[in-house]
Structure 1
Amino acid sequence: MHDRQGTACGEHGQDLAEFHGVSFLSQRLEGRIGVCSMSPPRTPDDEINSRPHDETRITPDAPMPLPPTVAQGFRTHLKPRQAELLVALAEEQHLGRAADRAHMTQPAASRALAQIEHMVGLALFVRSAQGMRATPAGEVMTAYARHLLGIGERTAAELAALHAQATHTLRVGVLPSTASTLAPRLLQALLRTDPALQVVLTEDGLHELIDALRRGSLDLVLGRMAPRPPEDELLEYPVRADPIVVVCRPGHALARLARAHPAQLAACGWILPPPDTVLRERLEELFRQADVALPPGRVHSNSTLANLELVRQTDLLAVLPQGLAEQYAARRELHIVPLDVAFTFGEVGAVVRRNRIASAALDAALAWLRQQRSAGGVHDA
């Protein structure tokens, strides 16, 4: 019976995406539902020859084993179309729209979902007034589906690069706050030591970059660290704290002050970060601590380049990460307003997936970041 299990695992192991997916799904389901070690599927002969003392005993301290259908599901290949449907259902929360995204008819999508639920042995989605909602098992299977699709995208991209030329690629996502400080120094170090390396750099918001990282479209995100549960599929490598500063044009009235109070800042016109962004949260916290109302924004923008030009040419104020602001202040293009309070952007560093395909370029990037952490962070030259 042990040989049969080994053969089955070997057959699945030939598919790289499935090989990683089995391990990933096992961990997620064990963590969400709680299982003890599983035996291989039993045959009729096994049932006839089994004896009472061979049966598995469930003690009060032992977790309940998964139903047989769930255990078998660990070794069942989830097809790409099924994976796409699960992700679409989780995001659209509507069967018709999810079917369109997966290029299926609605009846076909309904049948596909029923097949997956039969395979797993648990309901994955329930209908509610707000649409189709994922059950806890549905959340696990959706994460599994994203994992498989991400591996497929990454493998296809790597093979395409290898087919075009003998090289390798590192796909890096950056926030505006890290695009001109941490990212260039990391890439300089990597390109200097690896002449064959190709880098694809993508700048976007934090939520968009993290979503792309979870899908496997990015290998690494350079940005702000955020609290994550221990079982999260992402790992963080913090590098340094990133203070936030208020900036104005060099000829602004605030540029003549030795120190500015939030009340003086509130009397000026502002370029405010969009709501639900880290910079906006930190700015609101600054005024709240000083018991001053957040000033109304003349402009709401997350465009770093546009904000820089507006500050340089008007009397509007803005907030920027200190490392970025210091570069422009050194060229006398901006003035950093000294404050009588301090506020930070939090720690910045790298975020990667736990279940990632081995990559020499990514390993080198993480080694460089760990070295910077030990040296006290990345500083402007």
Structure 2
Amino acid sequence: MSQIDSYLQVTLKARQLRLLVALDDFGHLKEVAEITHVTVPAVSKALAELERGLGLELFVRTTQGLRPTPHGECLIRHARQMLVSLHQARAELKALSSPSEDKINVGVFPASVTALLPKALALLKQREPRVNVLVTEGMMATLMPELRQGKLDMIVGRLPARDGQDTIAEQELLEEPVSLLVRPAHPLAGRKKLKWADLKPYPWVLPPVGALLRDPLERILESHDIRPKDYIETSSTTLARAYLHASDGIGAMAGAVARDPAEPLARLPLALPQLIRGSGVFWDKRRALTPAARLMIACLEEAAAGLRPHYA
């Protein structure tokens, strides 16, 4: 038996498969250490043990981070498939053990927490109270790896840019144009006409680097010679809205986040192109959706249909 045969058949563990996938998704030891709640030396040691056990180099270090070798790419591809199979086996075993209950794991972006998902969850519980849902809020960088690893059944929120990956299935649910918002008593509020230059004296609320809206928003601002130097960054829509109400800041928001009747914000009369795609739900089509997950998607569709008239 060769060294590779021996290691794969006897020694390889599921946690090492998850390590490989995480290293491929994040590309940096520090980020993998943070997401797995261990130290950087522990991640480095685990990778070294795996490479030593196989007798293969799986990653090379570059100035941009870790890059998988051909051997690494091969093992990562199979690791993803094995983790999906393990997730499916776990779900089926739990369903057989507790046939009266079912559970789905849903990731959600912060902006979809306020309207779309709560309405869909209420519909789900009306139709099938025995289906339980674990909701994990996060950003694309943290939720997408969990979807690929089979830890999430689906993600609800702003659809990411299409990048040619044919493993992700999606369904658009709401078109939500982006608006520039300020507090009702803001010096610019209520004006019927504005020039982009009128925005220059004011602070901004920006989505964090890596958020779907950040790059397209910065590009449109730069095209109008606006380069914010006085700003805060946050992924929290609650904080962003509160800051706008407490300051002369300007923020860019969409959908239900921009339309809160309890604490309304004023919309500035400046036209924006379509900066990002609409909101929806997406999942890994390599893994079959359970009946509960399909019901969740149907409830999301119904909830979105009820919200569309308010977004027109």
TM-score (norm 1): 0.65
Task: For residue 377 of structure 1, report the CA deviation from its aligned partner.
Answer: 7.0
Q: 1:67 matched to which residue of 2?
A: none
Equivalents in 1 of 2:271, 2:230: separation in Å? 22
Q: 1:234 matched to which residue of 2?
A: 168
Instruction: Give the secondary-structure state (helix, strand or coil) at the position aligned to 1:173.
Output: strand
Decide which of 42, 52, 59 is 1:100's aligned counterpart.
Answer: 42
Equivalents in 1 of 2:233, 2:41: separation in Å? 36
Equivalents in 2 of 1:210, 1:88: separation in Å? 11
Q: 1:80 matched to which residue of 2?
A: 14
Equivalents in 2 of 1:88, 1:347: separation in Å? 28
Asked if 1:261 is matched to 2:198, the reply is no
Q: 1:112 matched to which residue of 2?
A: 53
Q: 2:236 matched to which residue of 1?
A: 303
In the alignment, residue 306 of structure 1 is paired with which amino acid? Answer: L
Equivalents in 2 of 1:200, 1:310: separation in Å? 30
Equivalents in 2 of 1:256, 1:196: separation in Å? 49
In the alignment, residue 257 of structure 2 is paired with which amino acid? Answer: L
Equivalents in 1 of 2:281, 2:100: separation in Å? 27
Asked if 1:225 is matched to 2:156, the reply is no
Task: For residue 351 of structure 1, report the CA deviation from its aligned partner.
Answer: 1.0
> Which segment is superposed worse, 303-312 or 225-234?
225-234
Instruction: Give the secondary-structure state (helix, strand or coil) at the position aligned to 1:112.
Output: helix
Equivalents in 1 of 2:161, 2:243: separation in Å? 33
Task: For residue 368 of structure 1, report the CA deviation from its aligned partner.
Answer: 4.2
Alignment of 1:156-235 (within 5 A): 156=90, 159=93, 166-228=100-162, 230=164, 232-235=166-169
In the alignment, residue 297 of structure 2 is paired with which amino acid? Answer: L
**Do the aligned partners of residues 378 and 142 (structure 1) sit closer, same or farther apart at CA in structure 2, a change above 3 Å counting?**
farther
> Which segment is superposed worse, 332-341 or 178-187?
332-341
Task: For residue 231 of structure 1, report the CA deviation from its aligned partner.
Answer: 5.0
In the alignment, residue 167 of structure 2 is paired with which amino acid? Answer: E
Asked if 1:292 is matched to 2:228, the reply is no
Asked if 2 retains the 8 angstrom alpha-carbon contact of 1:273 and 1:280, the reply is: yes
Higher relative contact order (CA 8 A, sep 6+): 2
Asked if 1 retains the 8 angstrom alpha-carbon contact of 2:22 and 2:145, the reply is: no
Q: 1:42 matched to which residue of 2?
A: none
Q: 1:142 matched to which residue of 2?
A: 76
Asked if 1 retains the 8 angstrom alpha-carbon contact of 2:148 and 2:284, the reply is: yes
- Structure with higher Rg: it is 1
Task: For residue 208 of structure 1, report the CA deviation from its aligned partner.
Answer: 1.3
Equivalents in 2 of 1:304, 1:180: separation in Å? 9
In the alignment, residue 226 of structure 1 is paired with which amino acid? Answer: P
Q: 2:256 matched to which residue of 1?
A: 323
Q: Deviations over 1:51-102 (max 9, x none)?
A: xxxxxxxxxxxxxxxxxxxxx9xxx8975255245336544579xx899349
Alignment of 1:358-373 (within 5 A): 358-369=289-300
Structure 2 segments unaligned to the other structure (5+ residues): 31-38
Matched length: 294
Q: Deviations over 1:303-334 (max 9, x none)?
A: 211111111122112111133211x2x23432
In the alignment, residue 125 of structure 2 is paired with which amino acid? Answer: L
Structure 1 segments unaligned to the other structure (5+ residues): 1-71, 118-123
Decide which of 282, 286, 297 is 1:355's aligned counterpart.
Answer: 286
Asked if 1:271 is matched to 2:208, the reply is no
Equivalents in 2 of 1:256, 1:81: separation in Å? 57
TM-score (norm 2): 0.78
Asked if 1:314 is matched to 2:247, the reply is yes
